[in-house]
Amino acid sequence: MIVYCLNILPIYSLENREEFFREALDMSSKGEFIIAIEKWNRYLEIYPNDPAALSNRGNVRLILGDPRGSIEDQNFSIKINPDELDPYINRGIAFEALSLWEEARTDYSYVISKDHENFSALYNLANVEGSLSNWEEAKELFNRASENNTAFPIARSSLALADYQLGNLDNAEDELRKLIRKYPTFADARAALTALQWSKGKSGEAESNWIAAIELDARYSQEDWLLNIRRWPPSPTSDLMKFLSLK
């Protein structure tokens, strides 16, 4: 006799569905990504056409090292609801993880065409242009991003770094000093100012800023992290590495 084992899924009310979604989202927000992916998988077994859940699961898949799986989820989310912009940004980030710069650029540019002040798309597109060595374009985009979100100092620091790469050292130094005055524990600005001061022969000031920077975030001593994760331009990265080689 053949016995068929059926996977009977429970019927959820709207209230329970919302609670189920919030549980998965809460695990994602807390960084409990293994639990989160299990909850998103289970949720999507029951509600396979929920574009927000698909996009959120795609984000978790990217964090867990599956950018292609993330792109699949974002593609499906966009197919269901093409007017929602977040999945385009999320897919662009996954494309960046695979160094698919043109694909990422297309997604971010589309978002900006629909929402000219979208900070995330502007900032991420600036990083893409930097990765393609288009530093003038990157500078303009970092500037627009910083103007549209004045409470996010990484955009202003990236703007200063783009100026640094382009040889506008005085502008870069002024911006970095302003950032440090406003955010004294902002490691990125202190590390960048370290490199810039060292390049100008101000070794004492460079040393002082480096002591603060490395205590705040030790990753700034890692060249690969600076270039490929933080996405610093090559000139300030090279100067910082030269400064460190003398220590």
Would you say residue 75 has pLDDT above 60? Answer: yes
Average pLDDT, the chain: 94
The per-residue DSSP string of 104-142 comes to HHHHHHHHHHH-TT-HHHHHHHHHHHHHTT-HHHHHHHH
Report yes or no: 220 and 239 within 8 Å, Cβ to Cβ.
no
The encoded tokens of residue 124 equal 């991420």
Residue 130 CA: distances (Å) to CA of 5, 159, 214: 55, 11, 25
CA distance 125 to 120: 8
Closest by Cα among 119, 125, 153 to 139: 125
pLDDT in tens, 183-205: 999 999 999 999 999 999 999 99
Q: What is d(CA 105, CA 121) in angstroms, rounded to the nearest whole number?
A: 9
pLDDT of residue 4: 36
Q: Give the model's pLDDT for residue 166.
A: 98
Handedness of CA 102, 106, 111, 113 (dihedral sign): positive
Q: What domains are there in the chain, each with its CATH number? A: 23-115 (1.25.40.10), 151-247 (1.25.40.10)
Confidence of residue 55 (pLDDT cuts 50, 70, 90): very high
